[in-house]
Amino acid sequence: MDCNLAVMDESNGSLNAQHAQIDRELDAVVAAGRASRWPEYRRHLGVLREGLAQHIGFEEEALFPALEHRAAAAVKALREDHAQIRRHLETLGAAAPEQDPAGCLAELDNLAGLLRAHHEAEMALDPQYASRPMPPLVLEHSPALDLRGLQPPEPIVRIFQALERDPGARLRVILPHEPVPLYGLLRERGYSYAGAPRADGGFEVLIERS
């Protein structure tokens, strides 16, 4: 396996295995927050957000369409859970944990409860859920810089600060929508870029030296 990648599934590509790894990453975020280790907190939160985005994408594209014909109401409720999970993640991404650690930990506790209930509902709806084959979640050790929830021009400011800190490195950023004004600024400074919509509703851009 590429040493720059982490596979969020140690044994197989099942949906249940994805849930188990997401739970462990959530535990790591909480532990870092309780210990006031904020760089570690942000790193694990970024990985958690990326893992949940991939997992939700797998479910909505591969699992839910197969179940909707016989359980439309239940699948609708699960999709609503996904929307609520995204809202929790957006709140956590926009928060300043150093200034409100108790609020962030409470938000994480609410997210953990929602994820448990969501998984139980999926298991009840589909007894074969645990073993349904799915590709493992693969995440980079350095998660994307998630800039959703910030007001302009802060996202662009942070992007160029990150590029200045490590000019030769590739940078992945997540924004609420396609950042068309950013593209011209990147070209002027000698950077190329590629972007695509994400399953969680954001827009991800990869930036590197031309």
Give the pLDDT score at 147: 92
What is the distance between the alpha carbons of residues 40 and 67, in angstroms, rounded to a whole number? 38
Taking phi over 0 as left and psi of -120 to 50 as alpha, with beta for the rest, 149 belongs to: left
Residues β-bridged to residue 42: none
- Cβ neighbors of 144 (< 8 A, separation 6 or more) are 46, 50, 172, 173, 174, 204
Q: What is the DSSP string of 25-47?
A: HHHHHHHHHHTT-HHHHHHHHHH
173 vs 2, which has greater pLDDT? 173
The dihedral sign for the CA sequence 119, 96, 203, 152: positive
- The top-scoring range by mean pLDDT among 51-60, 78-87, 126-135 is 78-87
pLDDT of 70-89, one tens digit each? 899 999 999 999 999 999 99
- Under the banding of pLDDT at 50, 70 and 90, the label for residue 102 is very high
Residues β-bridged to residue 172: 206
The answer on pLDDT for 57 being more than 60 is yes
The angle that helices 154-165 and 180-188 make with each other, rounded to 10 degrees, is 30
Q: How is residue 45 written in tokens? A: 């939160």
What is the distance between the alpha carbons of residues 148 and 154, in angstroms, rounded to a whole number? 10
Give the pLDDT score at 74: 94
Give the pLDDT score at 204: 86
Give the pLDDT score at 1: 30
Q: Identify whether the C-beta of residue 48 lies closer than 8 Å to the C-beta of residue 29.
A: yes
The answer on pLDDT for 209 being more than 90 is no
What secondary structure letter does DSSP report for 14? B
pLDDT of 173-206, one tens digit each? 999 999 999 999 999 999 988 888 877 788 888 8
Give the pLDDT score at 167: 75
pTM score > 0.95 for this model? no
Average pLDDT, the chain: 84
